[in-house]
A and B are shown apart, each in its own frame.
Chain A
Amino acid sequence: MELINTFFNWDVMVRAFPILLRGLGNTVMLGIVTIIIGTIAGLLLCLVRLYAVRPIQLLAILYIDVFRALPILVLLILVYYALPFVGIRLDSFTSATMALSMVLAAFTAEVCRAGIQNVPKGQFEAAASLGMPFWKSMRKIILPQAIRVIIPPLTSNSISVFKDTALASVVAMPDLLKQANDAQAMMANPTPLIGAALIYLAILWPLVRLVGYLEARNQRAVAR
């Protein structure tokens, strides 16, 4: 009973809930904006990586390597605390969006590359032989076929990045984790943290299941 009162105190939970909700709003906002920007940028990056002239390809490879290797937290702190030294001062939401989507773009680029390279060469040739220009054949022929392979790992990466939104609390963004932590300090009770953990779970668990489902569906499609 004592344990429940400490870790799951109903009164504290009720008081903390509006605070958590405000944090949740920021977290969801950050997650969604990051996923949209990161995915689009990743796809473009992948096309540059595959089809640009050689020197620019190399730049894309360098970008992808660096941002897959760099810890997000390090990048985030660089953006938020180091950029001001060169006169670029970004608020915590912008810094977090930037750091997270730069990393997501790098991972997305690799996922998209695998998907595009999975499309048989004959498909590119058939589209080319009909006189379809590059962008049209990408849009109408290649990407629709690649997307099947791309979606599961893309979703998986999006889940990862959504989890990493919690890092934004380090740069003082009032996201779900930071709000919970503040509430915990204020109310001198860890219940808000438990609440935050449960909210993260509630959002992400279904998505994790979704990835499993998509992967299984692809397996079946391949087996056919």
Chain B
Amino acid sequence: MTSSPAPLAAQMSDVNKWYNDYHALRSINLEVARGERIVVCGPSGSGKSTMIRCINQLEKHDSGTIAVNGVTLTGDLKQLNTVRQDVGMVFQHFNLFPHLTVLENCVIAPMTVRNIARKEAEEMAMSYLSRIHIAEQAHKFPSQLSGGQQQRVAIARSLCMQPNLMLFDEPTSALDPEMVHEVLETMVSLARDGMTMLVVTHEMGFARKVADRVIFMDHGEICETAPPEDFFKSPQNERARVFLSQLIH
């Protein structure tokens, strides 16, 4: 829980990751301060997903150290599960649990992991679901919702664990264009509430609006880190310049 959070939500120092002999992350150094909103962008295959998935260890790193909320990850499973409880993750393809209703999706982790009573968990879930305007659909199954609604439920499901850091991996890129907006809106309001967020996205409007920093990755490296105004106006890195020019149209 967020009772006494460390000043740094996440810290990666000199992190390397290989997929067999492919060097996917090259000496990554990243500090995510409490309350900070960071947008990560870069070409396909540059290692954006790999980087944020290392933070909750959906991918194991091979060298360097990663600390989350002040806890240095050791690979111990118990420790990892505890760390993960405070780190929400939103996936490109939602990954809602299809055999559970929207409400059950939201209460299952608080009930089984945090041992919160059903009634209390459901009240909390309903409050998040009504904030994203899905309360009336609480008893539907995920397959009965639109993509945008499913992704908002996925965000609510994460929030029900009351995380203090949220990771987003291209949360809008599997959505039909007309549904992107509603998901971004939910994310903006989350940012306004002060959530610490690390967001892989190519939605530059979102980056401009909420990001404290934009990180540009290429070939497994962080090539540039800058406030959004600077990054979009005059990227220092050549590859970032090329990337942005391709993104505009």
Contact = CB atoms under 8 A, between A and B. Distances in A.
19 contacts: A120-B95, A122-B93, A122-B95, A123-B97, A125-B91, A126-B89, A126-B154, A129-B87, A129-B89, A129-B158, A130-B84, A130-B109, A130-B113, A131-B81, A131-B86, A131-B161, A132-B108, A136-B113, A145-B99
A133 interface: yes
A130 B158 CA distance: 7
B97 A129 contact: no
Contacts of B112: 132, 136, 140
B84 A129 contact: yes
A122 B91 CA distance: 8
B58 A125 contact: yes
A145 B98 contact: yes
B91 A130 contact: no
A126 B95 CA distance: 6
Nearest to A136: B112
B157 interface: yes
B97 A132 contact: no
A129 B56 contact: yes
B84 A125 contact: no
B97 A125 contact: no
Interface string B48-85: 00000000101000000000000000000100011111
Contact of B97 (A128, A131, A133, A141): A141
Nearest to B160: A130
Nearest to A139: B112
A144 B97 CA distance: 10
4 smallest CB-CB distances across A and B, nearest first, come from A131-B85, A126-B95, A130-B109, A122-B95
Interface size class of A (residues with CB under 8 A): 10 to 19
Contacts of B87: 129
A131 B109 contact: yes
B96 interface: yes
Interface of A: 120, 122-123, 125-134, 136, 140-141, 144-145
A122 B90 CA distance: 11
A interface secondary structure, majority: helix
A77 B190 CA distance: 68
A123 B91 CA distance: 11
A126 B108 CA distance: 12
Contacts of B91: 122, 125-126
A132 B95 contact: no
Contacts of B84: 128-131
A119 to B, nearest CB: 10
B147 to A, nearest CB: 14
A145 B154 CA distance: 18
Residue from B87, B88, B108, B161 having most chain A Cβ neighbours under 10 A: B108
Contact of B58 (A128, A133, A136, A140): A128
A125 B81 CA distance: 12
Nearest to B53: A125
A90 to B, nearest CB: 40
Contacts of A144: 99
Contacts of A132: 81, 108-109, 112-113
Nearest to A122: B95
A2 to B, nearest CB: 60
Contacts of B93: 122
Residue from B89, B97, B98 having most chain A Cβ neighbours under 10 A: B97
B88 A129 contact: yes
Residue from B56, B87, B95, B98 having most chain A Cβ neighbours under 10 A: B95
Given A131-B109, A132-B113, A136-B113, A126 B97 contact: yes
Contacts of B88: 129
Given A131-B113, A144-B99, 17 more contacts: A122-B91, A122-B93, A125-B58, A126-B89, A126-B95, A126-B97, A127-B97, A128-B84, A129-B58, A129-B88, A130-B109, A130-B161, A131-B83, A131-B84, A132-B81, A134-B77, A136-B112
Contacts of A127: 97
